[in-house]
Amino acid sequence: MGREIAHVMGHQAADWLERPEREQEERPNLLLPALKLKPGDTVADIGAGTGYYTRRMAKLVGEKGTIYAVEIQQEMLDLLTNKMAQLKIGNVKPILGTVDNPKLPRASVDLILMVDVYHEFDYPYEMARAMSAALKPGGRMVFVEFRGEDPEVPIKPVHKMTEAQVRKEMTVQPLEWVETIEVLPRQHIIVFRKRNKSE
């Protein structure tokens, strides 16, 4: 669909995911409320990395909720599961996905979150299709991507996405755009909802 796909960040760069500046650059304190998570929700964190967002969401969904932490690199999942054990977080289920399938249970997830991940998918169409299948009817899929429209965002263009491009790529999926939330300093929060069969 007219976009170059970026290379996947290797587990060797895991430290970058936990950098202290991330708090200021990405403002998780603004992103998390925008997700409107409720206790008991089932959430999939795709490209979970070291669990930066996984552990924050695990608190919000509580003991009755579940976070599926999906990664395609076993080394990253090992780092994540060690971190969860260390923090005594028990509601996270690690999943080793593949480049075209997150291996999530069908129609089981309330919300799918991808933070700076979608633009690295080797098979974006197949992944979005498989993720849509994992959503419950009315479930939400949320893309957090560095703003491709903004030359001031100090990230290589191949690692940014415009809102228009994300929306264009989702037109072929069983999803409808709900809103784009612009509360973050450098990223869009682009929210879609899974259509019900009858729509």
* Structural domain boundaries in the chain: 9-15+22-97, 116-199
Per-residue pLDDT band for 1 (boundaries 50, 70, 90) equals low
Q: Running DSSP on this structure, what letter comes out for residue 184?
A: S
Superfamily of domain 116-199: Vaccinia Virus protein VP39 (3.40.50.150)
Q: What angle do CA 99, 10, 54 make, to 5 degrees?
A: 75
CATH architecture of 9-15+22-97: 3-Layer(aba) Sandwich (3.40)
pLDDT tens, 52-82? 999 999 999 999 999 999 999 999 999 999 9
Q: Is 138 left (phi over 0), alpha (psi -120 to 50) or beta?
A: left
Amino acid at 32: L
Residue 170 pLDDT > 70 = yes
Q: What is the pLDDT of residues 5-21, one digit of tens each?
A: 666 656 666 776 777 78
pTM, whole model, 2 decimals? 0.92
pLDDT(199) > 70: no
